[in-house]
């Protein structure tokens, strides 16, 4: 009898939570992972309400602050995110730092489920002598600077030097190199860089020996890039291309089998003057292959060093488990280990890899898992106050959240200022100025 009563109560609770109740869910982070998670939840549950919290005053994360200015087609996803934010079952709350202004536990008390999608806000250090010298920057900070991220607005890199070294050859590294090479009026990935006006590639044919036979084995996107590099490095250019390269005032190159060993200071020790690279070779077979030093070194003079060896997530709150070695929140398919009702998506879930479509797929999986748990009665039963409780907490702590309609006012101001300068927009960089424009 008692067991039957318990089963009946459980069944009623499950039915109540999935059919009659409005699930209150919050997402921390308004980049692609956060918005795609919210989009999936709203699409696949007709009653769910999603609040998105963001530490910046403005939404969209790396789509706004991490994509190169010459990739406007990638930024078109902002239109999709805007439609999500304008849903009457979704609300954006910017200028709220979770872990400082409100704790994760306070969010868990206010919502049926919490999804951490705050991305990778730090960068991997080179961990070599001289890294602290003026003129050495992380690519993350440099990208934030040219994309108008408020925290990087005072970076002030000296771009007057003859040579810049970018450590790393991933997407961000190539973005950085292309931005450095390209006059603003010609801002056009690797494919565009080979044909950039006024530039010439410096590629050593010896680095590409034996590549022709091996590129057949690699996935199609990488195969296209490798074929492009192979042609640029080994084929004789046409007459017109020879002339174009001869007149080029800027050059770029890819150096393989090199590992940064030390940033070299200027004679007065006040800034970067070069970088010492260890020459490496491959040892081992298959997944056991490693680059090991040969004992030789190469000194490369330069006035700017940009480290682009990966982004890294930070722990957000002492109550949330975090793996400092992998830089992720321990999880199984987005469920945070040993913390029921807490989920994660995006780079803080799987590490800083992949592109926006990868993040979209990953976020949809987290959203699906959350809804499965909701349907199975694994999330708290009964109503939750949601933003009403958090708003009271923020008000008592002197925090002024920024709504999506507030962002639209700032957006209109940026577009207006840009028109005067002949640009699509002039980004607002000062948070205090943004708050002043909003009457705060």
* Known active-site residue 182: no
- C-alpha distance from residue 90 to each of 85, 99, 366 (Å): 6, 22, 18
Distance, CA of 171 to CA of 12 (rounded, Å): 51
CB-CB contact of 344 with 336 (8 Å): yes
Cβ contacts of 94 within 8 Å, gap of 6 or more: 30, 54, 55, 56, 57, 58, 59, 401, 402, 403, 406, 407
* Known active-site residue 78: no
Instruction: Give one DSSP letter per residue of 212-267, joined into a string.
Output: HHHGGGS-HHHHHHHHHHHHHHHSPPPHHHHHHHHT-SEEEE---SEEEEEEEEPT
Residue with tokens 């900070």: 141
* Known active-site residue 52: no
Query: How many whole angstroms from its chain centre is CA 222?
Result: 21
Residue 209, both tokens: 């020996």
Total count of residues recorded for the chain: 440
Q: Which position among 18, 22, 71, 103 bears the catalytic label?
A: 71
Residue 397, both tokens: 């702590």
Distance, CA of 439 to CA of 261 (rounded, Å): 51
Q: Which position among 204, 357, 361, 430 bears the catalytic label?
A: 357
- C-alpha distance from residue 196 to each of 38, 113, 166, 318, 407 (Å): 39, 49, 18, 48, 36
Q: Which position among 179, 194, 215, 356 bears the catalytic label?
A: 356
Residue 202, both tokens: 């410096």
* Known active-site residue 268: no
Q: Which position among 51, 101, 175, 362 bears the catalytic label?
A: 175
Distance, CA of 154 to CA of 176 (rounded, Å): 18
Catalytic site residues? 71, 175, 356-357
């Amino acid at each position: 009898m008692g067991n039957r009563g318990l089963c009946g109560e459980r069944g009623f609770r499950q039915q109540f939570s999935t059919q009659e109740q409005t699930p209150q869910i919050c997402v921390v982070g308004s980049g692609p992972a956060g918005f795609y998670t919210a989009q999936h939840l709203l699409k696949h549950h007709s009653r769910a309400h999603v609040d998105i919290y963001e530490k910046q005053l403005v939404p969209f994360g790396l789509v706004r602050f991490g994509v190169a200015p010459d990739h406007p087609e990638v930024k078109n996803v902002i239109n999709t995110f805007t439609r999500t934010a304008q849903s009457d079952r979704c609300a954006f709350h910017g200028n709220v730092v979770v872990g400082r202004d409100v704790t994760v536990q306070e969010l868990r008390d206010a919502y049926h489920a919490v999804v951490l999608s705050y991305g990778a806000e730090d960068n991997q250090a080179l961990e070599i002598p001289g890294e602290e010298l003026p003129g050495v920057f992380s690519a993350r900070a440099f990208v934030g600077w040219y994309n108008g991220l408020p925290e990087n607005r005072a970076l002030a890199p000296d771009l007057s030097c003859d040579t810049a070294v970018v450590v790393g050859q991933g997407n961000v590294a190539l973005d950085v190199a292309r931005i450095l090479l390209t006059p603003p009026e010609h801002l056009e990935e690797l494919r565009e860089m080979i044909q950039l006006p006024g530039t010439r590639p410096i590629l050593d044919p010896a680095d590409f020996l034996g590549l022709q036979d091996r590129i057949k084995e690699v996935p199609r996107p990488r195969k296209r890039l490798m074929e492009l590099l192979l042609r640029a490095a080994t084929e004789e250019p046409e007459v017109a291309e020879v002339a174009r390269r001869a007149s080029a005032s800027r050059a770029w190159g890819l150096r393989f089998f090199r590992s940064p060993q030390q940033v070299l200071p200027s004679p007065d020790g006040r800034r970067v003057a070069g970088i010492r690279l260890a020459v490496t070779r491959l040892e081992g077979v298959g997944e056991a292959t490693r680059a090991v030093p040969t004992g030789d070194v190469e000194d490369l003079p330069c006035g700017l060093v940009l480290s682009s060896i990966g982004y890294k997530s930070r722990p957000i709150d002492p109550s949330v488990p975090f793996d400092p070695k992998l830089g992720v929140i321990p999880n199984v398919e987005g469920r945070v280990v040993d913390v029921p009702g807490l989920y994660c998506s995006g780079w803080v879930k799987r590490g800083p890899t992949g592109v926006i479509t990868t993040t979209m797929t990953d976020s949809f999986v987290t959203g699906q898992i959350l809804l499965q748990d909701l349907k199975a009665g694994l999330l708290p039963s009964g109503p939750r106050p949601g933003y009403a409780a958090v708003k009271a907490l923020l008000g008592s702590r002197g925090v002024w959240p920024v709504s999506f309609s507030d962002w639209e006012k700032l957006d209109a101001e940026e577009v207006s200022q840009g028109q005067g300068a002949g640009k699509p927009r002039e980004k607002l960089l000062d948070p205090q100025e943004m708050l002043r424009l909003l009457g705060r």
